[in-house]
């Protein structure tokens, strides 16, 4: 069945750019039924949606991140990616990628296991 797997550095310095990828296996990222998203969870806190992308490249992101977020898709690699610029300690979190299912009213029906990112010098 379809699986997602996040990858990227576990440690990022303040003011630098956090870069993560999500590899989709067992299915195509180019399906018209799905969007693909990023969600994060700071230690001991709740969930925050960062943004989503369609295979065509159209994106939606969270204005609370003040244009620091860039989400892109590479259909040839069956991957999508997250870049978060000018990071601070407040960006320390577990970052998840997920599939948003249009048939499920955009419920997130498949998640990656998450990758922990710490922002520290």
Partner 1 sequence: DIQMTQSPSSLSASVGDRVTITCRASQSISSYLSWYQQKPGKAPNLLIYAASILQSGVPSRFSGSGSGTDFTLTISSLQPEDFATYYCQQSYSTPYTFGQGTKLEIK
**Torsions phi, psi of 60, nearest 5?**
-135, 135
Q: How far is the CB of 1 from partner 1 (least distance, A)?
A: 11
Neighbours of 57 (CB within 10 A): 11
Q: Identify the residue whose tokens are 């948003």.
A: 100
Applying CB under 8 A, the residues found at the interface with partner 1 are 37, 46-49, 52, 60-64, 96, 98, 100-101, 104-109, 111-114
Query: CA-to-CA distance for 114 and 93, rounded, in angstroms?
Result: 10
Q: How far is the CB of 73 from partner 1 (least distance, A)?
A: 17
Specify the residue, 16 or 59, whose C-beta has the smaller distance to partner 1.
59
Specify the residue, 16 or 21, whose C-beta has the smaller distance to partner 1.
21
| CB-based burial, 95-114: b 16+ in 10 Å, e otherwise | bbbbbbbeeeeeebebebeb
Q: How far is the CB of 82 from partner 1 (least distance, A)?
A: 15
Specify the residue, 25 or 60, whose C-beta has the smaller distance to partner 1.
60
Q: How far is the CB of 18 from partner 1 (least distance, A)?
A: 19
Residue in 97, 95, 103, 99 with CA at minimum distance from that of residue 27: 99
Specify the residue, 15 or 104, whose C-beta has the smaller distance to partner 1.
104
């Amino acid at each position: 069945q379809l699986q997602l797997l996040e990858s990227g550095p576990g440690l990022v310095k303040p003011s630098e750019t956090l870069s993560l990828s999500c590899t989709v296996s067992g299915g195509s990222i180019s399906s018209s039924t799905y969007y693909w998203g990023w969600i994060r969870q700071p230690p001991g806190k709740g969930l925050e949606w960062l943004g989503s992308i369609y295979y065509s490249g159209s994106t939606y992101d969270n204005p609370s991140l003040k244009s620091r977020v860039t989400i892109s898709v590479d259909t040839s690699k069956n991957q999508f990616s997250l870049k978060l610029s000018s990071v601070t300690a407040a960006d320390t979190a577990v970052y998840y990628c997920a599939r948003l299912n249009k048939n499920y009213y955009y419920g997130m029906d498949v998640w990656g296991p998450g990758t922990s990112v710490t922002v520290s010098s």
